[in-house]
Amino acid sequence: MEKIKIGGILCHQNLGMLCIQGLSGSRTDSAASLLFEFGAQRVNIQFIVQLIDQHGKGQLTLAVAREDMCFAFDLVSRLQKQIGINSVKLKMNIASIGIYGPDFRVRPGIAGNFLKCLAGENIPVFAVSTSVSTCSALIPESEASKARSAMEAYFLLP
């Protein structure tokens, strides 16, 4: 198999993950209010995935720096009733691993190969996010070094 050319690898450790479930999907301001409050409190969100489930409820998965996690969890808990959150789950010792490159938006198969690389090393993936130029995943922090080495072997780096 010919290696797929990418621009590089991004790896961030010392993260925590918040899984926020049950936001009112019909209230478009729920997620906006929560994310706005994170910014107002100077908490940087390094990873976001949002969706509306089959019941019309919003789900948010966020990653923030480990040192901000207790504050972030308390903030979400304080706002829980106000913005209609059903549950909040916290997972510590998370890393994000990602690849970036030229023209991902017009190159089919990038995300599939990215996940195949992680799966080939039996690395659990908690969440995936993509954009026109990146593919990122939240993984156990203990697997970050192995994931990075796998990416370096799997993809063609500059």
Same domain? For 126 and 76 the reply is: no
User: Which residue segment(s) compose the domain that 48 sits in?
Assistant: 14-92
Residues 6+ apart with CB under 8 A from 127: 17, 47, 49, 61, 63, 137, 138
Tokens of 132: 């026109």
Q: What integer pLDDT is reported at residue 143 of this predicted model?
A: 98
Does residue 109 lie in a domain region? yes
Q: What integer pLDDT is reported at residue 29 of this predicted model?
A: 73
Same domain? For 88 and 103 the reply is: no
Q: What integer pLDDT is reported at residue 31 of this predicted model?
A: 82
pLDDT tens per residue across span 139-150: 999 999 999 999
As for how many domains the chain has, the answer is 2
Does residue 1 lie in a domain region? no
Same domain? For 64 and 120 the reply is: no
Q: Model's pTM, two decimal places? A: 0.90
Does residue 2 lie in a domain region? no
Phi, psi of 55 (to 5 degrees): -100, 5
Q: What integer pLDDT is reported at residue 12 of this predicted model?
A: 97
Same domain? For 88 and 18 the reply is: yes
Tokens of 36: 């706005």
Same domain? For 76 and 99 the reply is: no
Tokens of 136: 């990122």
DSSP tag of 41? T
The distance from CA 66 to its chain's CA centroid, rounded to whole angstroms, is 14
Does residue 3 lie in a domain region? no
- Tell me which residues of the chain have a pLDDT lower than 70: 1, 25-28
